[in-house]
Amino acid sequence: MKKFSKIPNETNGIEIKKTICTICDPGTQCGLNLYIKDGEIIKVEGDENQPAGQGTLCSKGAATRQYVYNPDRIKTPLRRVGERGSGKFEPITWEEAYKEIAEKFNLYKEESGAESVVFFSGYTKFYRPWLKRLCHSFGSPNYLAESSSCYLSTYIAHKLTYGMRGDPSWAGGMKCAIIWSSNPYYTNPGAARVIENAKKNGVKLIVVDPRITPTTKRADIHLRVRPGTDGALAHAMANVMINENIYDKEYVAKYTYGFEEYKEYVQEFTPERAEEITGVPANLIREAARTFATTKPSGIMTSAAPVVQNSNGVQNYRAIFSLLGLTGNFDKLGGQMVSPSSFLHASGQFKSRQVEFRQSRPVSEMATRIGDTDYPVWKELIEEEGQAVALPDHIISGKPYPLRAVIGFGMNFRMLSESTKMAEALKKLDFFVDVDLFLTDTAKLADIVLPACSSVERSEFRCWGTGFATCTKPAIEPLYESRSDIDIICQLAKYIAPEDKLLASGFEPTLDWILEGTGMTTQELWKHPSGMPVPNPIKQAPLQCLEHGFKTPSGKLEFVSKVLEKYEHLGYDALPTYKPPKYSPQGSPEIAKDYPFILNTGARLPMFVHTRMYRVPWTNSLRPNPAADISPVDADKLGVKQGDKIRISTPLNSIEVLVNVTAIALEGVVHMYHGHSQADVNSLFDRDNSDPITGYPAYKSMLCKIEKI
Ligand SMILES: Nc1nc2c(c(=O)[nH]1)N[C@H]1C(S)=C(S)[C@@H](COP(=O)(O)OP(=O)(O)OC[C@H]3O[C@@H](n4cnc5c(=O)[nH]c(N)nc54)[C@H](O)[C@@H]3O)O[C@H]1N2
Ligand SMILES: Nc1nc2c(c(=O)[nH]1)N[C@H]1C(S)=C(S)[C@@H](COP(=O)(O)OP(=O)(O)OC[C@H]3O[C@@H](n4cnc5c(=O)[nH]c(N)nc54)[C@H](O)[C@@H]3O)O[C@H]1N2
Ligand SMILES: [Mo]
């Protein structure tokens, strides 16, 4: 019998509309069946026909009604009337808002150049091609995003090592996988399903994570590494593979560059020495190395975040990726396969025109981007996005040129290190516009606030690696006067980039333009409310680099990076050298005397997505107060119990939180979630505690001390 067969029916006026949940934005997008009566969502279920969610929902998706109908939603466009930051606004019309923004932006462009206006995106992804185009059509190179601490650094490590992105080829007959710092059971249910299947198929799983998680519980081998020491662990595995002669000599000889130097370098990382550095027992390192090298094909599942959020992040991932070269697994079916992006970062087995769409004007002809002077490797490898960690200093100093305005879409000043500095800088701007669903602390600093709607109130396009795509339709009208970010961008284009007629034409024509040649159109996609298979999918074939050369300067998989070689004068090493985290017992023993704990922040909780779910009663009730996870051993040493209040201090600042005593925490490490306004962990990090190559904040390794209050 069909579930819920009584509703909807002809008499009760209830309709089911299909859309996707994008609360946890990039990878998943579970299908939703929304029960609608009189234009209101009365019930939320998973859509069984949609492959990403397969009818299931997590705690966040299940709370959709509380998210959408939250009393904190911004209802109309707002203009500041009080002091900056006072949170006093008056409602204005959309027309007034657009006019005022256009007047200011066009004036700054005339007086100080288009580069004086910054276009910023928070974690939301669906509108990014449109926002980038708006920025470029206006003439500014300064598109910045949350990606300044997420994903791009991993991408840079891929590019430096093998020239493009590679993902594990789970479906290609993989026999062994390392899941290196990822916990999809909390962060990406679709990927968790892939792991479940892999387990059923007998794939050997090695998981590298300091904590115990649902993913580590499924591991054949769990390497409980100290935060930020991943590079030393990878080198010790390479050491075992080379010295035990279990590496792929033919692949190394034919397809890699710099092997002799690399081989010599990893000799210092014996498993015993690596045990001292990483805390992982030497024999377990040996076992992991042997398993990965001899159970082939094998691949590595990586993450956008933890490894690269260390002061040695890029080099640590290069050390990890080098293992794919050493074992001959890159560009092999069942190993690691090249995966080009179709739309946003997802590879959906089709080729869209998103890059041409975004690059309405070449950035290379514009002024120097924010961050380019500090991070030349980023400048070289990342075409359309600056490094936002340099934004506060740039605004405050006015150097190398003045920055006068920022328009942020879902901007949150608390997401980068020295968060108070970002807030200060935003206050110094001539003009700040923020677009959000809620009047956040960042929106309160703005001159104009614009109300965005949620995913169930708009249309958006998404695709999946399985060759499946969807374009949603609003399940309910946007609440109050809120609008889709894409509609806001396309309207704004009429005022600040009037020559760009395509952008001004709105969602449907622009999406059709991007998808031209794929066999998909908006109208066609709308006929399939649960999504549709991509027509004529381009199946990713192996041996692309092996036959045609890697997209690196040497044309090979580079153990020694020819890009980094150019910047050796800046202290970057061409080999993936291991350096201890800047703040760690090994990296700064003097500081460690007074600050004996490692502070590791932001490991995801299943019910939160950054700051998004704190205001939602169901999810917030699961951890209503900011709390730090510490191990029972550390709790005993400190004399604290569950629920006690503690102060966490770094040399920069301190915050007060509750204690959560839990065996999932590694001894000596304090784990703390980010984004709380009452206890902002990012106020504890200074900008210099970052990866010198990419500027990524070292959220995963800081030193701290703990006092009971
Ligand atoms: N200490 C520490 N800091 C971290 C991390 C960590 O692990 N530790 N992780 C980093 C990482 S990986 C990331 S990705 C960043 C994320 O950092 P942010 O991008 O700042 O995170 P969010 O809180 O998800 O989103 C910001 C805002 O977007 C708004 N928003 C939601 N949906 C929409 C929408 O559809 N349109 C618009 N216009 N706005 C919307 C939300 O209401 C919210 O105010 O944080 C980084 N910061
Ligand atoms: N529920 C939920 N889902 C999310 C998000 C969210 O906020 N909430 N955020 C989304 C975003 S923006 C991102 S970037 C992804 C992140 O997705 P994941 O990378 O899967 O998630 P994390 O929990 O950040 O990190 C995974 C694991 O890395 C471990 N780890 C921490 N430091 C280190 C280290 O130095 N080395 C190693 N080897 N492991 C370490 C943590 O203990 C954690 O268990 O999740 C996305 N999905
Ligand atoms: Mo992220």
Cα(122)–Cα(141) distance, integer angstroms: 17
Total-model pTM: 0.97
Q: Give the end-to-end CA distance of the chain in Å, rounded to a whole number.
A: 58
What ligand has the least distance to the C-alpha of 189?
2
Q: Rounded to the nearest whole angstrom, what is the distance from the C-alpha of residue 136 to the centroid of ligand 2?
A: 32
Return the residue whose CA atom lies nearest to atom 5 of ligand 2.
609
Alpha carbons within 13 angstroms on the beta-carbon side of residue 479 total 20
pLDDT tens digits for 68-100?
A: 999 999 999 999 998 988 889 999 999 999 999
The segment(s) of the chain belonging to CATH 3.40.50.740 are 78-151+343-533
What ligand has the least distance to the C-alpha of 434?
1
Identify the band that residue 1 occupies on the pLDDT scale cut at 50, 70 and 90: very low
Lining ligand 1 with CB less than 6 A are 122-124, 146, 149-150, 305, 409-410, 412, 415, 435-438, 440, 452, 485, 601-602, 609-612, 674-675, 681-682, 699
Q: Environment class of residue 547 by beta-carbon count within 10 Å: exposed (0-12), middle (13-18) or buried (19+)?
A: exposed
Q: For 199-213, what is the mean pLDDT?
A: 98
Residue 144 near residue 408, CB atoms below 8 Å? no
Mutate to test the pocket of ligand 1, among 64, 146, 414, 683 (most ligand atoms within 8 A of CB): 146
Residue 696 near residue 308, CB atoms below 8 Å? yes
Q: Rounded to the nearest whole angstrom, what is the distance from the C-alpha of residue 45 to the centroid of ligand 1?
A: 25
Return the closest-CA partner of residue 209 out of 325, 314, 302: 302
* HEC assignment per residue over 469-504: EEECCCCCCCCCCCECHHHHHHHHHHHHCCCCHHHH
- Which one-letter amino acid corresponds to residue 235? H
Identify the band that residue 628 occupies on the pLDDT scale cut at 50, 70 and 90: very high
What ligand has the least distance to the C-alpha of 602?
1
Q: For 307-331, what is the mean pLDDT?
A: 98
What is the per-residue pLDDT for 412?
97
Return the residue whose CA atom lies nearest to atom 46 of ligand 1.
415
Q: For 611-622, what is the mean pLDDT?
A: 96
Structural tokens at position 220? 């054949």
User: Atom of ligand 2 at shortest distance to CA of 183?
Assistant: 20
Q: Environment class of residue 410 by beta-carbon count within 10 Å: exposed (0-12), middle (13-18) or buried (19+)?
A: buried
Residue tagged 């807030």 (tokens): 423
Return the residue whose CA atom lies nearest to atom 6 of ligand 2.
609
What is the per-residue pLDDT for 6?
62
The segment(s) of the chain belonging to CATH 3.40.228.10 are 166-338
Q: What is the percent of the chain where pLDDT is above 90?
A: 95
- Please give the radius of gyration of the chain, using alpha carbons only, rounded to the nearest integer: 25
Residue 8 scores a pLDDT above 80? no
Q: Rounded to the nearest whole angstrom, what is the distance from the C-alpha of residue 307 to the centroid of ligand 2?
A: 9
Mutate to test the pocket of ligand 2, among 125, 147, 182, 187 (most ligand atoms within 8 A of CB): 187
Mutate to test the pocket of ligand 2, among 124, 181, 285, 317 (most ligand atoms within 8 A of CB): 181
Chain-centroid distance of CA 247 in Å reads: 32
Whether the CB of 304 sits within 6 Å of ligand 2: yes
Angle (nearest 5°) at CA 479 between 504 and 44: 115
Cα(418)–Cα(375) distance, integer angstroms: 19
User: Atom of ligand 2 at shortest distance to CA of 150?
Assistant: 14
What is the per-residue pLDDT for 12?
87
Q: Rounded to the nearest whole angstrom, what is the distance from the C-alpha of residue 147 to the centroid of ligand 3?
A: 7
The segment(s) of the chain belonging to CATH 3.30.200.210 are 14-68
What ligand has the least distance to the C-alpha of 178?
2
Residue 693 near residue 572, CB atoms below 8 Å? yes
What is the per-residue pLDDT for 25?
73
- Which one-letter amino acid corresponds to residue 355? V
CATH of domain 166-338: 3.40.228.10
Mutate to test the pocket of ligand 1, among 73, 433, 436 (most ligand atoms within 8 A of CB): 436
Return the closest-CA partner of residue 208 out of 173, 183, 186, 191: 183
Cα(505)–Cα(34) distance, integer angstroms: 29
Return the residue whose CA atom lies nearest to atom 40 of ligand 1.
410
Other Cβ atoms closer than 10 A to 350: 20
What residues form DSSP beta bridges with 671?
600, 629
- Which one-letter amino acid corresponds to residue 165? R
Q: For 461-468, what is the mean pLDDT?
A: 95
Identify the band that residue 22 occupies on the pLDDT scale cut at 50, 70 and 90: very high
What is the per-residue pLDDT for 490?
98
Identify the band that residue 24 occupies on the pLDDT scale cut at 50, 70 and 90: confident
pLDDT tens digits for 551-609?
A: 999 999 999 999 999 999 999 999 999 999 999 999 999 999 999 999 999 999 999 99
CATH of domain 78-151+343-533: 3.40.50.740
- What is the architecture of the domain spanning 589-708? Beta Barrel (2.40)
Other Cβ atoms closer than 10 A to 172: 16
Identify the band that residue 26 occupies on the pLDDT scale cut at 50, 70 and 90: low
Q: For 111-129, what is the mean pLDDT?
A: 97
Cα(405)–Cα(391) distance, integer angstroms: 12
Alpha carbons within 13 angstroms on the beta-carbon side of residue 138 total 34
Cα(432)–Cα(445) distance, integer angstroms: 8
What is the per-residue pLDDT for 85?
85
For residue 68, CA distances in Å to 21, 475, 612 come to 11, 12, 12
What's the mean pLDDT when you consider all of the chain?
A: 96
What is the per-residue pLDDT for 119?
98
Instruction: Answer whether CATH 1.10.3720.10 is correct for domain 14-68.
Output: no
Contacts of 141 (CB under 8 A, 6+ apart): 115, 135, 363, 366, 367, 368, 369, 386
Structural tokens at position 216? 């580590």
Residue 5 scores a pLDDT above 80? no
